[in-house]
Amino acid sequence: MKTWKKVSIGVGAALILVIIVAITVYQSQKNLVTVQTGRAQTQNLISVVSASGEIKPKTYANIGANAMGRIVKLHVKEGDRVKKGQLLAQLENVQSLADVNATRASLQAAETDAAAGDAAVNTALADLNRAHSDAEHAKLDWERAQGLYNAALIAKQDYDVKKAAWESAEAGLAQAQAKVAQAKAQKDSMDRHITQNQANLTRVSDVLQKTTYDAPFDGVITNLPVREGETVVMGIQNSPGSTLMTIADLSVITAEVKVDETDIVNVHIGQNADVTIDAIPHRVFRGVVSEIGDNAIVRSTGVATSQATSTSQEAKDFKVVVTLTDPPTDLRPGLSSTAKITTGTRSKALSIPIQALTVRTPADLVPKDASKNNNNYVQAASAPADASKQKEEIQGVFVIRNKKAQFVPVDTGISGTTDIEVIKGLQEGDEVITGSYKVLRTLKPGTSVKIDNSAPKKDDESS
């Protein structure tokens, strides 16, 4: 056989072999699903709840108008430091001061009348004693005259005189007793007038006091929205009154943040937090959770659910207060802040990437090749017959074993920024499928997979 024929046969055979190999490879890869994977590994996990809010002093007070009037003097300006009891503002008080003076004068007059009443009572009591003595003396004279008259020792005229004197003394005694009762009644009325004037003085003094405003505690004036000469009004129903100023104790600074309702169950008093402030970048301030609100707040309106007039299915938050342990002196109330609260830590925890977690119903867990009796798969026969239980979602991950995806239910613990703790279901070193999201959403147990951990395409990321 000629050489060129041998070469042609060899080339033809090689070409046929290449085609066969290519067809075999194509057929073997036609049903493969490309996935990204990660490993179950032991590491230290920190669970963090992030929430945003604003800087607020722990103690502050909005000083509102307690009376209607014109501001005649402001003794402070915004930014001033004040001491407890220091005079802050003065409203016009001409009428209220006049009312106090008039009521005080009425009270003094009533007290003077009461003193006169005491003297009248004492005089009446003295008259009563004198009348009582006169009555006793007249009675003795009459009794003596009666004995003498019966013995025919005095005339009838003398006897009648003694008797009339005794009856007159008895009448005087009754009159004196009535005068004592009258004087005591007048004295009681005068005492009640004193009580009435004291009450009026308390009322008008309170009105006068409400025209001056003192600092309730040591602090800083952080807001002063009014000016001298302006008229302020007190609040009435459904209408807030004028706010004169805000005073804050800046010795204790907090970050008041709103935590999502799904995270609040993990937040507890005393947990550490890292606080960042937008106005002070590249700095982290340490803090401790000091307060947790018990009432949910509707996110869109900021109104507590207990104050809402109707039920709402909107997202809700809970107020959490983080007290800064070492705040800088230049912090101002109202600065935007973000708190990252450490809600749990685990050392040497078995963990996987969070994106590996997925859920399936029992009906979804039928293996792609249901004829194979592989105990590693969740068999459809093991699914509950109850239709409602068939719809229950099972949390788990897809593990690669023998180049196929196997669904394994797992129990999870705390979650970190990118990883989540696995309490039950996996072992260290297990390779789990982490993406793409589109693949994880539709992947079936028993599917053959091909691992490609290169950077994902933008299409996959967007899907």
Domains of the chain in sequence order: 29-45+349-462 (2.40.420.20), 50-59+253-345 (2.40.30.170), 95-209 (1.10.287.620)
Look at the chain and count its residues: 463
pLDDT of residue 215: 94
pLDDT of residue 371: 45
| Residues ≥6 apart with Cβ < 8 Å to 433 | 35, 36, 37, 356, 397, 398, 399, 400, 405, 439, 440, 443, 449
Query: What is the number of alpha carbons within 13 Å of residue 131 lying toward its C-beta?
Result: 20
Please state, in angstroms and rounded to a whole number, the distance separating the CA atoms of residues 388 and 208: 72
Name the H helices within 260-386: none
Residues facing residue 451 across a β-bridge? 35
pLDDT of residue 461: 45
pLDDT of residue 373: 47
pLDDT of residue 6: 60
Considering just the CA atoms, what is the radius of gyration of the chain in Å? 49
Q: How far is CA 257 from CA 60, 252, 344, 357, 368, in A?
A: 17, 16, 19, 29, 48
Please state, in angstroms and rounded to a whole number, the distance separating the CA atoms of residues 250 and 330: 10
This prediction's pTM: 0.64
Please state, in angstroms and rounded to a whole number, the distance separating the CA atoms of residues 248 and 251: 9
Please state, in angstroms and rounded to a whole number, the distance separating the CA atoms of residues 429 and 351: 10
* Tokens standing for residue 284: 């982290």
Please state, in angstroms and rounded to a whole number, the distance separating the CA atoms of residues 299 and 276: 22
pLDDT of residue 377: 43
pLDDT of residue 98: 94
User: Which parts of the chain register pLDDT below 70?
Assistant: 1-14, 17-31, 237, 307-312, 366-390, 455-463
pLDDT of residue 74: 94
pLDDT of residue 20: 63
Pairing of strands 336-353, 272-277: antiparallel
pLDDT of residue 312: 66
